[in-house]
Chains A and B, each alone.
Chain A
């Protein structure tokens, strides 16, 4: 299995509200809401940490979920977000200037 790296798109604005994240695509003003698990993955999407490490090191530690199932769900999530253009996915580390979260 090839490593998968994820990074937040620069064409978004985001704000954490409680445990959830609200994200707006600055390209078409579409709003997205992430649940707590997706929010953790989103926040860890630095372009340098492989998705598998994010799942094992962060998701599985914070939520009661088996690594394999968590990875499958995480992969589906990042593919979905990438399809909407708000997350970048690559088999190589990604160098981007991640947008600042709105306070």
Chain B
């Protein structure tokens, strides 16, 4: 008589921005990879808000650079890219991911889930580096090449890096709070899993000298909007993100930081 034994399930709870997402897989090597990749963000002491079953498939010439598609039908979300397919039902708090054994697909799914959750509460993921100094967070925003990695690399020892690539912004009481994220950029170093109230946002420009200039609310809103990570196309969700950006700019000082790439720029960030 054949005895069927279910393979063991490995569960890795990844907590970002105070919200834990449980990733479950039958593959022990993949679970170890998740554990290592999200090391500072694995928290087994919290109740996960959402659970995803990760189903690993054999690679078949997929294109991970294909544009991601995010759709919602009857309250159920589907995410697709060349390298993964995912389903997510926020009401049942469960979802599934079908992907090859790589760290990038699940990372993309986590980013999408967080953008959708944050959109519902006035927060967002921002294409920016962020760092904590003296109990306050500072964001450095710009597209690729603006200097996010450079300014992160130049940070002095009293600065805690939250991320060099994707900042996590949540509404908090009268202001906003930035959380560390494991979503790394060129520095390939995950941020610290800590948070602080946001003191300022700096729009990065490289130049011959270090200086800080004010920017109009209009320019700040335009630049912030351009740098918000958002994947869904539903008009209502898009509208929420716009409103979140406007509220953010109304409450958080935004400046232009022109900087020469050496450590003296950090003398201005206090």
Contacts and interface: CB of A to CB of B under 8 A. Distances in A.
B218 interface: yes
A13 interface: yes
B149 interface: no
B238 A26 contact: yes
Interface residues of A, number: 14
B246 A33 contact: no
Interface in B232-261: 235-236, 238-239, 242-243, 246-247
B88 to A, nearest CB: 22
Interface in A14-67: 15, 17-18, 20, 22, 24, 26-27, 29, 31, 33
A17 B215 CA distance: 12
- Range of interface residues on B (Cβ < 8 Å): 10 to 19
A18 B242 CA distance: 17
Contact of B238 (A15, A18, A20, A24): A24
B235 A11 contact: yes
B221 interface: yes
Interface of A: 11, 13, 15, 17-18, 20, 22, 24, 26-27, 29, 31, 33, 102
Given A26-B238, A26-B239, 15 more contacts: A11-B235, A13-B239, A13-B243, A15-B243, A15-B246, A17-B216, A18-B217, A18-B218, A22-B221, A26-B235, A26-B242, A31-B225, A33-B222, A102-B242, A102-B247
